[in-house]
Amino acid sequence: MARDIVAATGEIEWRSSAVPVPYDDAVAAMEARVAAIREASAPELVWLLEHPPLYTAGTSARAEDLLDPARLPVYKSGRGGQYTYHGPGQRIAYVMLDLDSVRPGRGRDVRCHVWRLEEWMIRTLARFGVAGERRVGMIGVWVARSGGSADKIAAIGVRVRRWITFHGVALNVDPDLDQFRGIVPCGISPELSGHGVTSMARLGVAATMAEIDRALRDSFDEAFAAAADPG
């Protein structure tokens, strides 16, 4: 059986799962870790993983945005946001940090935390020559297209309990983008907005998950040390 790879960077534990993790199992593990961090019995954790193909419905999800209910399993999620797809080829980073800590990138400001998650994705993508960017009023990281539109390459949805963060980001490395047709991803209809979904592979970037994980590790500290500007 494949085993998770666990390492420590300073006071943060990093875990990389070798096989897709069922969604309910991941949520239960996050819940337990958040409680342990709050009790100071476990360190902060960044957990890198994939899920089997599924949809999650965030706290703002609208029933009409689930276009094909029979396509994939659907899980209600306590994270913010609406519907999104998870599956193989997508790097999930579940980020469990104590915003009460004095470490860089902390502080009781959820908007700043989201900004730093975006910054983390932007800096990671830059290592592969991909220009990720923010879009006003739209959480996540986008890649510009001609005509002023853009495609989302990284989705963000977080939850905070007693100032411990969990859930996090989903970076499209090489997922089956056709699965996004079963939902209106993040409430943004491509037909109405001109904004869609893309991946590193669709942009012509071939990267292994091991390479993605190294880039995520290498860019984390600099992203969380950056002065947040959530607007």
Residues identified as active-site: 186
What angle separates helix 110-126 from helix 209-225, to the nearest 10 degrees?
A: 130
Element (H, E) at 168: strand 164-172
By C-alpha distance, which of 72, 90, 81, 80 is closest to 182? 72
Please report how many Cα atoms fall inside a 13 Å half-sphere around the Cα of residue 191, on the Cβ side: 3
CA pseudo-torsion sign 81, 84, 89, 94: positive
Looking up tokens 């900004």 gives 115
